[in-house]
A = this chain, B = another copy of it.
Amino acid sequence: MILSLDLDSEVPIYLQIRDRIVEAIASGELAEGSSLPSTRQLAVDLGINFHTVNKAYDLLRQEGLLRINRKSGALVQRDARTGPPEPGFTDEWETRLRTLLAEAVAHGVDHPAVLGSCAAVLTSFTPTAPTAQGADHGAEQGDSAS
């Protein structure tokens, strides 16, 4: 699990870590039960303070995506296949979705284009379709600059 982050970004470091892990879970790169590096280890790899990593892990734990144990460290608790989301998640999420999509529409992106972007993002989460046998165009992503 190598993640690259931009220290010059306006997005806080701990949020970048969280976002990357969420995307890794969504794409299946991190399956349920996968173990994440320890906060101190990841902090050393990224050259940041381990509290920052801890904050990201703790946020993911509050969101129900991680299970943190003193003995086994951080494990992925949720998965795309785990089941439906906890009650209360969808409402809050759709509110944010509404605001985000409204932004695009207001800026002149027409509805089919917006929906196309959504579909493209979702497709990027499944680089290798289970039922597909034709195109195995691997998504180029492996980038580690940290």
Contacts and interface: CB of A to CB of B under 8 A. Distances in A.
Of A65, A99, A115, A122, most buried by chain B (CB within 10 Å of CB) is A122
How many copies the complex holds: the figure is 2
Contact of A100 (B81, B100, B138, B139): B100
Contacts of A144: 119-120, 122-123
A22 interface: yes
B132 A107 contact: no
A112 B85 contact: no
Interface string A80-91: 111111100110
A101 B133 contact: no
Nearest to A139: B115
A145 B132 CA distance: 7
A134 interface: yes
Nearest to A141: B119
Interface of A: 19, 22-23, 25-27, 63-65, 78-86, 89-90, 93-94, 96-112, 114-115, 117-126, 129-135, 138-139, 141, 143-146
6 contacts: A26-B103, A26-B105, A80-B105, A83-B108, A101-B118, A119-B141
